[in-house]
Every structure is written in C-alpha cells, then in structure tokens.
Structure 1
Amino acid sequence: MIPPIDMGTLSPPAQKIAQPAAPQKLQEMAARGVAPGMKPGELTTVLVLLTTSERASVRETAERTLAALPDPILTGALGSDLPPLVVDHLARLYPARPPVLEKLLAMPRIDAETLLHLASTGNETVTELIAVNEERLLKNPRVIERLYLNKNTRMSTADRLIDLATRNQVELTGIPAWREASTAIKEELIAEASDEPTPDDMLFQETDALAEQLTDDNQGSDTHKEDEEGKEHVEEKFLPLYKRLADMTISQRIRRAMLGTREERMLLVRDTNRLVASAAVRSPQMQEDDIALISRNRNISDEVLRVIATTAEWMNSYTIKKSLVENPRTPVMVATKMVPLLRESDLKSISKSKNVTSPVKDAARRHLDRRK
C-alpha cells in the first residue's frame, strides 16, 4: 500500500487548505489550482489531498485540475521530490505522456505499486523506460513479471528480463511458465538493447495482429483436423499463423503461449519442443473446454497430459479426469492413480475398452473387484 502524504512536510498555508475543516471557498479555489505563493510541487500535492475531500465540488474540481495541469505547474512539480502518492496519481493520469512518465520513473520515492501498475499497463515506450533500471527490477521481481506479461513489452526486452532474473537466480513465480522460459533462455542469444525494435520484435507484433484477426474470423475453431488414419494436420486457414510461430525462437513461442490467442495455444500445445508445449498448457488463459479437448487428444505429448493431471484446477472436472484415464498417451502412473476417482459404469467400460492401455484396464478391473 502506498504510504499517505505526511501533512507535517507541507507549509502552514498548504496544511490549512488541506484540513477537512478548512473553509469551503478556500478549498474550491485551491482545487482550481489557485493558491498564490505555493510552489508547483506543493500545489500538486494539495490537489491530490483534495481529491479525497468529502465535499463533492472540491473533490471533483481537484480531479479535473489534476488531469489537465498547465505545463508550467506540471513541469515545476516534476522537478521536485514528490511524495509516492502524488507520483502514483500523476502516473495514472498521464499514461500517454512519455516525458512525464520518464520523470516520474526517476523519482526517488516512487512506490513499487506504481511501478507494477505502469509495468502492467504501459505502452512500449513506458515498458522500455522501466526495463532499463536493472537494479530496481531485481529489488522488485514482480515488476519483471508484469513487464513480461504485458503485450506491449518488446520481445527482445522480455528476453533480457528473463535472462537478468535467471542469471541472478531470481525465481519469477508470477509467470506460469517461468521454469520453461528460464530453461529456454540459457540456450539463446540475447539481443542488445536498442532504440528501435528488432526484427524479432516485429515478428512478435505481426504474429499478434494475425492471431487476433484469425480469432475474430473463426470464433474458437479448432486448429487441427484428423485424417482417416487418426493423424492430425493443421487446418489450412491456420497455416500462416503456424508458419509464423515456427519461425520464432523457443523463448518467443513460450511467450506467445502465455499471451496469445486460443488458436495459438492450441497450436503450441502440440509443439514438438516440450518446453513450448508445457508452457502452452500452463497458460493462465487456458479454459476448461480447451483442456477437456486436449486431455482426450491422442496426439498430445505425455508431458502436457502430466501437467494437466497435476493442476488442481483441472482435476475438479470429472470429464477431464475420465479423458486422461482413457487416453493411452497419459503416463501409466498418472492414469492408474485417477482410476479410483471414476464412476463404476465408466470403470466397467474402461476395463473392456480396446483403446485403453493394459495396465489401466487391469487397474480398473482391480478397483471394480475391490468395490464388490
């Protein structure tokens, strides 16, 4: 929580205006930015205090004034050491003003909460400004997580952030596929920071635009179809997206799995690289219907099925548990462990099925015998 403004640091005139019992007309004048003799930084601080006033007219006027501060006042305020709460207020009011945000990010008392907000919502310029301060990032690893999960952060910058954390043995638990991302980055070349986006950054952005277009056009269609022999093939309409993903590095595909569309996740969960496939199924955007589809797919890797089986959220679904037991690609130890969780009618069917592995059928029979 951002600490409140210490009234004791204000001048006597500012304290008088900020007091709840101050004359209403005095507060209304200050809320309009009229406070003769008060320096820009202190005036801005008073305005932030007035946005919490119980007087609606004062509160609303102060909010409007803060959102449209004249340049001389704003520039003057940014040249002083502002309290953390004031920095946070201005950061939220001026998200599209890079010069303002650059000065706010340089404030010695900027709060971690403000950094987290900017890292989550900032555009490319803002995320680049945050990413250059490695010392601050290592002190606040959650900021690295928010930057990584912000689509506006360049891919090359995200790679450098993962590399920074990995080299300093900082575990980013807020990234669902942290283990996969950290493992992948050790084998890749890291691009130097640059003023302009790299070709990889452009590929990442172009892929995002294509994926969004396909989502709009297909409204959740599956990305694969099976031939008569049961082999999967990418649907023709998804081939351009599939090829773009194939051109990416492992780290890039892992981040697309985290941030991309449903179609991207359904493509990447079938990736031949286990790190990518595992990252896709760990995506926080995965839905139960998608997991149900994946869990009964016999072309999915055993590692993906293992991840599903060890995720508590998905194990609340009876359909998913049943599909995992019936899927011959599910590791035997995983499938047999779930056998006792199935209904008797399903166990009878599994014990006779030709599509279930022998160890799982035997486990189903043994469990039926015990129930009898």
Structure 2
Amino acid sequence: MSTHPIVEKFVQGKLPEPMAMALVGGSLPVPAKDLLNALAFAVLRETPYTQRALDFLATMPESMVAGVVTEPVDPPEILQLVLCHRKEPALLETALLNPSLTSEIVEASVLSLPGTVLEIVLNNQVLWLERPRILDLLEEHPEGEYVIKRRVNEFRFDILRLIPEDVKKQRLEIIDEVEAGRLDRAWSELPLPKEKSKEEADAEVESDEMAAERRLLAQKPPVDDEGNEITLTLTQRVMKLSTNQKIMLAIKGGKEERTLLIREANRLIQVNVIRNGRITEGEIAYIAQMRTVNEEVLRIISNSREWMKKYPITKALVMNPRTPLPVAMTHFKRLFDADMKLLIKDRNVPELLRREAKRLVEMKEKGKN
C-alpha cells in the first residue's frame, strides 16, 4: 500500500512548514496509518515538530491507534512510537504482538513500557535472542516484578548459557569431587545457582526460639543421627549453595547432605529432605525430635502410616514441643506408660497435652485396682 503524497513529502522534507504543522497536529485529511507514520517520523527523529506530534498523539483515540497496529505495519517505527508514548495495556499488548515488531524496536522501547506488559517481551524469545541486551533492560526496569527478574536470570543460564567464570570453576570442582568419591552423586546433578523466589525467601523466616537454637547448634560440629561428625568440607560446600540447589540436593542427596539440610531455616528445603526417597527410619526418628524443624515437616511425618508404625518415631513426635497440638493429641495414647509419665512432667509440651496424659494414666491405674 503506497504512502499518502502529503506524508511522503513530509518525510522527504519537502512539505511547507505550515502544512507540516497541520499534518502532525491532525488537521489534514490523511488515513490513520499514514498519520501515525508521519508522527513517528516527527517524534523519533527529533524534528522541529516533535512536541506538536506528541501532543496530538496523546489525544488520538485508542481504537484508532489499535486499528493500525493490529495489522503488519511498514515502516515498523509506528510500533516504537506507540510503545514509547502510549500507556494503555491493551494497546501496548497489541503492538508487542505485531508481526512487524523488531528486536531493535523492543530494545529501544523496554524502559518506556509499564510493568504490566513486560512478561510479553520476556516471552518473545526470538527477539531477545537476537538482542540479549533486552534481558538486561528487563532486569533493570524499575517496575519489573521479582518473578520477571528471576526468569531473566534463568534464561541467561538455561538458554544463553551465560555462566560466570566463578560458577564454572565451582562446577568443575564439584564434578571432580564426585568422580573421586568424596561427594554424593547427586551433587553432579545440581542446577546452576538462581535467585530465590518469593516463596523460597518467605520460607526462610523462622521464630526467635528456632533461631536461638540454631545458633546454639552452629557452635557444635554437625553430626548425623548416629552421632558421627560430618566433614567440614561438606558443610562448607552446602553453605555455599543457593536455595534452588539446596532444594535439589535435599531431594536427591545422601545421608550426610540430608542431615545438614534439615537444619536449614527454609521450609521448602526441610520438606524436600523428608521427601527424599533414600531417607531412613532412623533419620525420620531423629528429625521428629528436632526442635528446629518447621511444623509442616512434623505434619508430613505424622501423616505417613509407615513411619507412624515405628514406636521411636511416634514417641519423638509426641514429645517434641514443636509438634502441632492436634497431631500430638492424636498419637500420645500410643506411648508406653514410662514415656507417658515423662510426658506428664515435661514443662515444654502444651499444658493440655500433659493434662490429658495424666488423666489417661490415672484411668489406667484405676482400672488395674
């Protein structure tokens, strides 16, 4: 489709100034597409008509502009004009999905976009693969939500393979340790480090009581459920891992890794330790008595029929002050008499639990008499 003669003369610089001012002010009878073409030329090239063109662009009905950017446009600078100087989300979405959009225009427009449409840019991998700088701009965007910035980071690692040298070095060291038999095989399958998600960050919140107990534990050398000390090298390696990597190691790691990771404040890490297919009943009994685990971990243990068939696990769960009261009340009747009497004297467990335990003991004694 040919350009309107008036717009053609304007672009060539041959249109008299009064007519040029009338054109960019919307006073001449030209089609909407040609008018936007003229406005794009006036604005993006910083001509003497820039401000008048911007003023008129702001008054153009959204429906009129949308009618143009719905179809392929030539030249595509019309899309840049809309992306940089209009704010309606539906209109911007239409422009961002236009088949004439180029990576150059996206790069020039990203910082002008509102945060509500940034995900459309992020999902257009064809464009940011041509110009990876688009990812940098998305990350720098003041209105970019955390999830956008986290996905930018993931794309850099997973698609562009932009891995920092220090990460490459650590990766090679881990592979060497695995091959030498000094680390569990699960270490070689760890993903590259990524930023924490909001859920992961929220899961790291712990009570003052748990924090105090964790600090006390940190002063002692870490040991597993059988009392064996864990090597300092492994402890240091686990401390360096990102939350994402710790979660993966919790799911697949060996006994020493599980023992270290169950001490983490992050609820997701603790829960995935429990879901590790290699975890033993001895470890479950050890975890069930820990006062630094999240309540969700104790609930998961209590919901497992297989685990709750084992008396040491039931006893540890009921005697643990961290266990939710409804869970402890459900299982305390299974305690042996000697353990029941210990429960009655334990000031750390809830008063209601001690009272019910005492009542049960008294009933048993009356029955014997």
Classify the TM-score, shorter chain.
0.3 to 0.5
